[in-house]
Structures are given as structure tokens and as C-alpha cells.
Copies of this chain bind each other. A is one copy, B any other.
């Protein structure tokens, strides 16, 4: 009973033995994607820990920066994009408020709405993480030359378009985030 994790190819070979109709080429791409994301998450997690930031807070920070000036979003919007319930969002914001990363104010146009804003501290924190992360990211892509990086980015973008632009009426197999 070996303790070593099977390589991607070993994994797929066994899967195929269990389920003969499986397409190895598809399986390779899909499983490589999920393995990569897991490793990246761990790596990010370590960087974040050194900056006293949790992954939950980091996700919210990213969304607010991504929104651009004036760095404001509704809680419900952030929740949807992150795949969280509104309840979880409420608590995350609570925590981030005490850390001075965000502000919470009432929407003047709709009194039941709330506006989450990024503080300067929050923006600075985002920058600190990105500076550290970019080192890791560059390291991850080290073995690919510029052309390969571009090609990879292009292929991934096409996959992404397929899921992010998915229309519910187009067969319903690919469903969007809500």
C-alpha cells in the first residue's frame, strides 16, 4: 500500500480500467486542471498566512479590486461570484470590518441595500499579496516559453468562454454560477 500519490497518467490509466468508455484525453485535461488548482491553493494559502490574511478575506479583496473604481460592490454580488450564501457573506464582511479592510454603508438609492467598499488598507493588502504571489506564479510557468504561455492562455480562455458564456437554453449541460 504505497503512500505515494499516483501520477496523473497512472490515475487515468486506472480510471480507464474501471470505466472503459472514458476519454483519456479529456480526462487528462480535466484532472490536470483540478490538481493544479489544488496545488495553487496551497501555495497561495501559505503566502496569505505570512500576511495574516485568510483565504476567505483574500477572495473578497480580489473581487473588490477587480470591480475597479470606486471599488464598491453589493454583498449579494460578491456572494454570487464566490459561490457563497448571503449569510456567509455577512459574516465575512463582519470580520473584514474589524480588520479595516472594507467598509459597509447603506446604499442611498435603496435602503435595503448595502454597499461594501474597499479601504486603502484593503487595497494595500491586495498589493502585498499580489507581489508575493507573482513570484510563485512566475515560478509555476517557468518551464514554458512566451509562445507556450500565450498558447496555454488562449486555450484556457476558450474553455472558460464555454462555461462562463453558457446559456441555460443551450442544452442545459453547462450551467452558470446562477
Contact = CB atoms under 8 A, between A and B. Distances in A.
Contacts of A164: 5, 7, 35, 39
Nearest to A7: B164
A56 interface: no
Interface string A103-119: 00000000000010000
27 contacts: A1-B74, A1-B115, A3-B74, A3-B77, A6-B68, A14-B68, A18-B130, A21-B134, A26-B134, A26-B137, A28-B153, A29-B149, A32-B157, A33-B40, A36-B159, A41-B83, A42-B83, A136-B174, A139-B162, A139-B173, A140-B159, A140-B162, A140-B174, A143-B159, A151-B155, A152-B152, A155-B155
Interface of A: 1, 3, 5-8, 11, 14-15, 17-19, 21-23, 25-30, 32-43, 46, 65-68, 72-74, 77, 81, 83, 115, 123, 126-127, 130-131, 134-144, 146, 148-153, 155-164, 171, 173-175, 177
